[in-house]
Amino acid sequence: MASKNRVRFSRSAKNGDASGTTGQPDISVTSERDVYKNAIVTEFMRKTSPERTKSIGEKPSSVTQSSLVCVLYVVRVILDDATNYECGGLPAPCKTDNNTDTTTEESNTNVNWYVLLWVERPLWLWIIQVVLAFVTFFKCLLKIYVAKGRRSDHFLKTHFIMEVLTFFPYIITLAYPPILHNLYVPSFIGCWLAKRSLEKVLNELHRTCRRFQTISVTLSQQCLVLIATLCCLIFTTVCGIEHIQRASAQQKLTLFQSIYFTIVTFSTVGYGDILPDIWPSQLFTIAMISVAVAFIPMQIQTIVSTIVERTKMGSEYSERRAAGNKHVVVVSRTLQTETVMDFLSEFYAHRKLEEQVVVLMAADELDRNMQVILKNPNWSQRVVYMRGSVLQVTDLKRCRIAQAEACFILAPRHMENRGIADQHTIMRSWAVKDFAPNCKQYIQLFKPENKIHVKFA
């Protein structure tokens, strides 16, 4: 049966197009499959500004779904009792007699593969996991269907492989529920999907809410991602070692014992009171330690480089601190040590100004002399240095100039062309006045005739 096609008309330009046709309609044939796909793309991937809040809400739901999968896995572990089926469905006394006197070498090779493949899962828990897996996996396939580019490339991505390992086995259990509903599924891998969705939420919040991306915000985001990575690594190791040790004949681990073993192992203490005694769990422990050694230092190095960059950029003047303290902003093209010391000495000479906070802003990085001044006990709690420019709206927000009591715009010393110096000062004054018209300005000019440009700005 032939597929249905839909004819679409589009009118050419009135005065004719480049090819010379005038007013003739263009006819293009669109298949019904493309029409359905375009409709899905329009509804599912809408990016207009009124719907941005809705698009943000979809990503936290992904975090919630992946986290719920991990919670249900923990519930299944708590309710599970391997002694009910560790003999292949027979009663537990089948492993009697000679098993009690097995040596350590024998227990290392005697792996009960049956308990690794089958678990004890209540019917109500299986129904919840199947429904959640079906919804999440269908949503993943729908995203791939409407995505741009080759679909085969999306099937090879890491997150899709994790989606398959986490959710698709639950869908397979629908083939024969009386037996397959007890099939083991490593759904604890969903914690990495939750971490990936969390990173997307953080990026979307900064982009959509139009927050200014400062060094402090970047540093806090990187620290949060590092904490999430550590939690995922620990959770994966705990769940993996707990499940594999179920196949051991001598030392089965509870969930709490697995947490204890993981923390002690990752902290390089290694008391030795709890040890994996079968080769699959030993191999799994080696793999997880290798992953931790490979990836954690990379993220720590990224955070350290951000901290170093933040040190060069200076401090941050938070909104909470601005609400609790009065402050003034001192702006200059270059802040020299002599200029800063003279200003601070004159400013804090008045008793009424002793509680004010001075925010210094310049385009230069912190040099050693300026660091010595900021570490001085007289100024360390009252002076904040910030690298930036008042010509940038982001930097004006960082220094909270709208809440400032006043703004001092200082001219650079030892400037040969004083006319150009006044021009830069006037430009900074205009920028401050446009952003914070109620902020008082005290401007230093070399030529008195330039006052008129500031007054009538």
What tens digit of pLDDT does each residue of 77-128 get? 999 887 777 665 444 445 444 444 445 455 566 888 888 888 989 999 999 9
8 A C-beta contact, residue 237 and residue 262: yes
Measured CA to CA, the distance from residue 405 to residue 429 in angstroms comes to: 15
Tens of pLDDT, residue by residue over 375-425, are 888 888 888 888 888 888 888 888 888 888 999 988 877 777 878 888 888
Q: Is residue 317 part of a domain?
A: no
What is the three-class DSSP state of 11? strand
Q: Is residue 180 part of a domain?
A: yes
Same domain? 266 vs 141: yes
Same domain? 365 vs 221: no
Same domain? 31 vs 69: no
Q: Is residue 18 part of a domain?
A: no
What is the three-class DSSP state of 149? coil
Domain boundary among 293, 312, 331: 312
Domain boundary among 266, 282, 312: 312
Single-letter residue type at 142: L
Q: Is residue 389 part of a domain?
A: yes
Q: Is 20 exposed, middle or buried (0-12, 13-18, 19+ CB in 10 A)?
A: exposed
Same domain? 355 vs 305: no
Q: Is residue 119 part of a domain?
A: yes
Q: What pLDDT does 16 receive? A: 45
8 A C-beta contact, residue 356 and residue 286: no
b/e map of 386-414 (b: 16 or more CB within 10 Å)?
Answer: bbbebeeeebbbbbbbebbeebbbbbbee
Q: Is residue 17 part of a domain?
A: no
**Residue 449, φ and ψ in degrees, nearest 5:** -70, -10
Same domain? 40 vs 62: no
Can you point out the beta strands (E) in 49-200? none
**For the chain, how many residues are written?**
457
Same domain? 283 vs 392: no
Binned at pLDDT 50, 70 and 90, residue 8 comes out as very low
Range of the domain at 166: 50-312
**Of 350, 348, 367, 369, whose CA–CA distance to 358 is shortest?**
348
8 A C-beta contact, residue 222 and residue 306: yes
Question: Of residues 157 and 244, which shows the higher confidence score?
Answer: 244
Measured CA to CA, the distance from residue 207 to residue 213 in angstroms comes to: 9
The fraction of the chain above a pLDDT of 90, given in percent, is 19
Binned at pLDDT 50, 70 and 90, residue 315 comes out as low
Q: Is residue 328 part of a domain?
A: yes
Same domain? 265 vs 171: yes
Same domain? 246 vs 328: no
Domain boundary among 312, 342, 368: 312
Same domain? 345 vs 202: no
Mean pLDDT of 227-252: 90
Q: How many domains in the chain?
A: 3
8 A C-beta contact, residue 379 and residue 373: yes
Same domain? 285 vs 330: no
Same domain? 222 vs 79: yes
Tens of pLDDT, residue by residue over 262-298, are 999 888 777 778 888 899 999 999 999 999 888 888 8
Give the range with max mean pLDDT: 277-286, 326-335, 336-345.
Answer: 277-286
Is the full-model pTM beyond 0.75? no
Q: Is residue 422 part of a domain?
A: yes
Same domain? 184 vs 113: yes
Element (H, E) at 8: strand 5-11
Enumerate residues 6+ apart whose C-beta is below 8 A from 112. 86, 246, 247, 248, 249
Give the CATH number of the domain where residue 332 resides. 3.40.50.720
